[in-house]
Amino acid sequence: MKTLVAFIDRLIPSDELGPGAVASGAQIYIDRALAGPNASEKDTFVQGLESVDAYAQRVHGAALAELSAEKRDEVLNEMIESPFFNRARILTLEGMFSDPYYGGNKNFAGWDLIRYPGPRPAVAAGDQALNADVKPYRMSAYGIKYGH
Amino acid sequence: MAISLKPADVVVIGLGAAGGVAVLPLARAGLKVAGIEAGTWMDPHLDFHADEVYNNVRRLVTSSSKAQRECPTVRATTSQQARSAGVHPMMNAIGGTSIHYWAQSWRLKPWDFRTRSESTRRYGPNSIPAGSTLEDWPLTYDELEPYYDIIEQEVGVSGKAGNIQGRIDPAGNVFEGPRQREYPMPPLRGAGFTDHMMDAARELGWKPFRPPAAINSQPYRGRNPCVFHGYCSAGGCHVGAKNSTAITTIPEAVRTKHLTIFDKAQVTRIITDSNGRVTGVNYIRDRKEYFQPAKIVLLAGYTYENSRLLLLSKSKAYPGGLSNNHGQVGRHYFGHWVSNVSALFPYDINVWYGLPAQGVTVDEWADDSFDHAGLGFIGGASLHVYTERHPIDAAAMNTYGRAPLFGSAWKKFVHENAGRVASTYLQTNTFPYETTFLDLDSEVRDPLGDPVCRITFGGVRENEQRALQHAQNKMEQWFRAAGAIEVTKPPANGPRISTHAYGGTRMGDNPETNVVDRWGFSHEAPNLGILGASVMGSSGARNPTLTLQALAWRTADHLVKNWKSLAG
């Protein structure tokens, strides 16, 4: 989990545009996915994390979580063509931009980032106008207990 | 030993898009219909959600587990080992794939029914793609028109006519064949972006229109209109605005009290007697095996499963599989060539909400709408620009080399651009070829121990490739005219496995090259009918569902009118 957090924290960092993947709980989404619906890829994914740490150790002298943000960015860049990077990125996007019901996208930080106004019960024609400034509808499809 | 049940007049195997409409005319005629469906009723409150992970990432509506364990294998050529295609949205549920489809409800063009003779006449015999087994359909558009009309009314289709009995209306599709009357509902409203694209097409001199959909644009027969909430694709409709057979023709047939539904029942074999007539079907429910006798069997599974069940149903009369004494089952199969040309705009196009059927279509570059002389292909593709964009998919957008794939610079890029990407659906006129076919896999088996279907997709198809590339270039031209700053054209390739899968039990007059006759009944087993896109011998440049439903109703209607001779 430490390595995963150190990794996705650089994929989508917290900055002046708002919370990043970790602050939004993407790691919770990934953890739950690998424990359940994505269990078949869990071993491969964990091995991928281990090899990231082994690489960081060998090339940069410490496990990923022990490296500075700049060094971690270097590691990510160096492995950007690898299947693990691609898969970790996809799972992080799923966590960050899915319904908060799944554990990520806390306070709708992911949807705010890309300016997605959220599922709503009915969409008026004006909500589909070009350049419309649609007021975000902050509601999980599974009800207010998952965030509103 | 199978438990033998009370005989039915007609057994329908599969209550999806095709079987789900065929049961209605049969039940209305008072025939005792047994509808056997491997899935069951889906619940709009429990099964349908405005949730991208549920619908699109985990595909929980489209991929019922049983169907996935029957997923076909694929290979390029006969010399290769076939591998599982992974997942496919063929469906076990009452309503079948019509539950989660885009509900685009097209009629084919008159040209689609006569492509071989029309192309030969206009461009010469060499215009027919080499290696293609294309034949003219055994019926014309005019013969199918009354059945298109019935489906549009019974299921409920919204749209704008472009040709009513020869009167052309440029608000609709001016390239369509003549219709007897207007659609029962006006088209779905446009979105700001699709209206903008419509203007851009008109400036190019093209004739754009709002396409037809089995989605309610207004209340229809007691059902709700669409709410445009943006989770239509690969999902079911929680308000009942998407007119799947589960909420239209099937409940209507149930009300006649002549349709009995056997759900969670998997048909394993169609049974034949020594004279070559079918006598009923064996199915498994709760691990018990039953025999449902019937005077007529209508096979209405997904295209892959139709061929598979016939090939599995071997008997003395049909040693190579039911209705396969001419070796035609699985032949003339093809998957629809489709493509997404995407574009980035320098402003917010706001297509988050809506649905894939809410859009604008251009038909100038499809079918034989334009002169093909010297182009090196026949056919083309329809161009369709649509709404509905989900947040994970949007965030995973192409960065067009304008930003890195992660970090703060990426965040800034998606913050600005995730709501500025447009998607399209290009559908190519696709034809059957000698080297593209279905058979049974030699190794992979389903949980019952039966081989799954195997797809051999054959070699390079230059005709479809050129037709699609031509259409992709037209799509780029349209996007540029509308102000796009980036346009991405994927390679023009055919599918390995397809949601628009055709053939395998092709319809035609010649029993040497076709499995069913012009009415949809087997050339070999006279009381076996086959429904679905598996009877279609060419795709058209548009979605298959309305056509396969019109054909299914027509087969059922033919059965009712000729009951004595067909039922024996």
Q: Does B414 touch chain A (CB under 8 A)?
A: yes
> Tens place of pLDDT for every residue, chain B, 568 residues?
799 999 999 999 999 999 999 999 999 999 999 999 999 999 998 999 999 999 999 999 987 777 888 999 999 999 999 999 988 888 999 999 999 999 999 999 999 999 999 999 999 999 999 999 999 999 999 999 999 999 999 999 999 999 999 999 999 999 999 999 999 999 999 999 999 999 999 999 999 999 999 999 999 999 999 999 999 999 999 999 999 999 999 999 999 999 999 999 999 999 999 999 999 999 999 999 999 999 999 999 999 999 999 999 999 999 999 999 999 999 999 999 999 999 999 999 999 999 999 999 999 999 999 999 999 999 999 999 999 999 999 999 999 999 999 999 999 999 999 999 999 999 999 999 999 999 999 999 999 999 999 999 998 899 999 999 999 999 999 999 999 999 999 999 999 999 999 999 999 999 999 999 999 999 999 999 999 999 999 999 999 999 999 999 999 999 999 999 999 8
Q: For residue range A51-69, list pLDDT tens digits in order.
A: 999 999 999 999 999 999 9
Q: Which residues pair with B401 in a beta bridge?
A: none
- Residues B201 and B204: their CA atoms lie apart, in Å, by 5
Number of domains in chain B: 1
Q: Is-contact A34 A45, C-beta < 8 A?
A: yes
Interchain pair A15, B411: CB under 8 A: yes
For helices A2-11 and A83-97, give the axis angle rounded to 10 degrees.
80
Please give the torsion angle defined by the CA atoms of residues B56, B61, B63 and B65, in that order, rounded to the nearest 10 degrees.
Answer: 130
Taking only residues 355 to 394 of chain B, the set having a beta carbon closer than 8 angstroms to any beta carbon of chain A reads 387, 391-392, 394
Residue located via tokens 């051999």:
B456
- Residues B61 and B73: their CA atoms lie apart, in Å, by 22
**CA dihedral (A73, A77, A83, A86) positive or negative:** positive
Residue of A11, A29, A112, A128 to mutate, testing the B interface (most B Cβ within 10 Å of its Cβ) = A128
- Residues B76 and B79: their CA atoms lie apart, in Å, by 8
Written as six digits, the tokens of B66 are: 């049983």
- Residues B32 and B26: their CA atoms lie apart, in Å, by 8
CATH number of the domain where residue B39 is located: 3.50.50.60
The ipTM is 0.98
* Helices and strands per DSSP (H, E), number in chain A: 6, 0
Q: Which of B231, B387, B395 sits opposite A128 (nearest CB)?
A: B387
Q: Taking an 8 Å Cβ-Cβ cutoff, which residues of chain A contact chain B?
A: 10-13, 15, 17, 20, 37, 73, 76, 80, 89-90, 93-94, 96-99, 101-102, 110-111, 113-117, 119-123, 125, 127-132, 134, 141-142
Q: Is-contact B17 B99, C-beta < 8 A?
A: no
Q: For residue range A101-127, list pLDDT tens digits in order.
A: 999 999 999 999 999 999 999 999 999
What residues does each domain of chain A span? Answer: 2-116
Interchain pair B49, A17: CB under 8 A: no
Residue in chain A nearest B230 by alpha carbon: A119
Interchain pair B192, A129: CB under 8 A: yes
Helix (H) or strand (E) holding B291: strand B288-299
Strand duo B288-299 + B8-13: pairing = parallel
Classified as helix, coil or strand, A36 is: coil
pLDDT at A115: 97
Q: Report how far apart, in Å, the C-alpha atoms of B108 and of each of A66, B33, B330, B550 are.
A: 63, 30, 23, 11
Q: A-chain residues within 8 Å CB-CB of B391? A: 97-98, 110-111, 114, 116
Residue in chain B nearest A132 by alpha carbon: B350
Interchain pair A37, B58: CB under 8 A: yes
Written as six digits, the tokens of A106 are: 């806390």
Q: Is-contact B314 B282, C-beta < 8 A?
A: no
The one-letter code for the residue type at B350 is: N
Q: How close is the nearest chain B Cα to the Cα of A84, in Å? A: 14
Helix (H) or strand (E) holding B12: strand B8-13
Tell me the mean pLDDT in the region A66-76.
Answer: 98
Please give the torsion angle defined by the CA atoms of residues B156, B161, B163 and B169, in that order, rounded to the nearest 10 degrees.
Answer: 170
Q: How close is the nearest chain B Cα to the Cα of A51, in Å? A: 20
- Residues B558 and B568: their CA atoms lie apart, in Å, by 15
Q: What domain range includes position B354?
A: 3-567
Q: How many CB atoms lie within 10 A of CB B563?
A: 17
Interchain pair A128, B354: CB under 8 A: yes
Q: Is-contact A76 A85, C-beta < 8 A?
A: yes
* Helices and strands per DSSP (H, E), number in chain B: 15, 22
Classified as helix, coil or strand, A70 is: helix
